[in-house]
Amino acid sequence: MAVSARTGFLGLEEDWTQIPDVSIIQIPFEMTVSYGTGTSEGPSSALEASLQVEAFSEYLGEDLPAGMNVRTLDPWSFEGPTLVSHLESIQEHVQQGLTHGEFPILLGGEHSLLLPAIKACVSEGVLNSLNDLTLVQIDAHADLRDELNGERFSHGTVIKRCLDEGLGRVIQIGIRAFSKEESRMIDLDDRISAWRAREIRENNDSIPSILDCLSQITGPIWLSVDVDALDPSIVPGTGTPVPGGLDYWLVSRIVEGVFERGGGVIGADVSEIAPDEYGITQFTAASLASLVLACHAKKMQEV
């Protein structure tokens, strides 16, 4: 990778001669899609759209990068024989973005990138164990199937695989598409707390309840935003759009709440981005990634 200054996320000029504070990591992974396609182009489309996102953050009260050194890594690329080898390669790529203790923001790509991302945090010493981690998952799908279309490491099984690997806890927000098997697991597994999209829409106490739950997290957090959590009118390009989704400001408030009220956020992904012809999906994804960056900057200023 070149070390000279270049333009990256949000059109920011990045100085590659300096140690980075934040890594923007593009994972254009598309291998187990089950409906729509296009996630291989999701990260690059979001990066391009970010050039039109305002650098000024109202939440932060100043322009990004707010004194931080942001580095946008070259996109992950791999040709291998198996799905497992692809996931191992993704883990190695994410580890490169953690070398200096950077805060990683992943742009994806299928949601199955989540497992190698959090395993990379253990490999690089960011986490002692996955058992210490709380995953805050904003998503339309529970992703708790044991297999999908015969595949155990699919985008529809990724949370189940994370739990199998030792993930301590998952907080699911916005889910509205899941199987009987997944519904039963949500009800019986005490590692899982879930707020369904319909409950959020119909119960005025849901949002305070969610924010209160986030405020009680004491350990490290990974924030995972699957863009299909949003209503399809906002993200028409995502792989598996589900009606009855969350609105943008609600998702934004939850993202802010994760940083404001919870334990330390060690990284985030904005995944299942697939560009649409009008640019709405990729712009929305870039805006959410920008918000994550602003929230991290504000947290760092408070330290």
pLDDT at 251 exceeding the cut of 80: yes
Burial of 74 (0-12, 13-18, 19+ CB in 10 A): exposed
- Asked if 174 and 253 count as a contact pair (C-beta separation under 8 A), the reply is no
d(CA 241, CA 243): 7
Alpha helices in 71-218 (DSSP H): 83-96, 114-123, 158-164, 180-188, 197-202, 206-215
The confidence score (pLDDT) of residue 2 equals 45
Averaged confidence pLDDT in the chain? 93
Query: What percentage of the chain has pLDDT greater than the value 90?
Result: 85
Distance spanning both ends of the chain, measured CA to CA: 32
* pLDDT one-digit tens code per residue, 155-179: 789 999 999 999 999 999 999 999 9
**Which domains are seen in the chain, by residue range?**
20-74+81-92+102-302 (3.40.800.10)
* pLDDT one-digit tens code per residue, 107-131: 998 999 999 999 999 999 999 999 9
The confidence score (pLDDT) of residue 6 equals 77
pLDDT at 19 exceeding the cut of 80: yes
Burial of 89 (0-12, 13-18, 19+ CB in 10 A): middle
- Asked if 62 and 294 count as a contact pair (C-beta separation under 8 A), the reply is no
248-261 and 206-215 helices cross at what angle (nearest 10)?
A: 30
When pLDDT is cut at 50, 70 and 90, the band that residue 1 belongs to is very low
DSSP state of 223: E
The confidence score (pLDDT) of residue 32 equals 67
The residue type at 103? F
When pLDDT is cut at 50, 70 and 90, the band that residue 34 belongs to is low
Q: What angle do CA 199, 251, 164 make, to 5 degrees?
A: 75
The confidence score (pLDDT) of residue 138 equals 98
The confidence score (pLDDT) of residue 36 equals 58
The confidence score (pLDDT) of residue 148 equals 72
d(CA 246, CA 236): 13
Q: Centre a 10 Å sphere on the Cβ of residue 49 and count the other Cβ atoms it contains.
A: 21
The confidence score (pLDDT) of residue 156 equals 81
DSSP state of 255: H
| SS3 call for 185 | helix
Across the range 126-146, mean pLDDT stands at 96
26 φ, ψ to 5°? -90, 125
What lies within 8 Å, CB to CB, of 37 at 6+ separation is 30, 239, 274
d(CA 99, CA 226): 25
The dihedral through the CA atoms of 32, 48, 61, 18 has a sign that is positive
CA 15 to chain CA mean position, Å? 25
State if pTM tops 0.75.
Answer: yes
d(CA 160, CA 145): 6
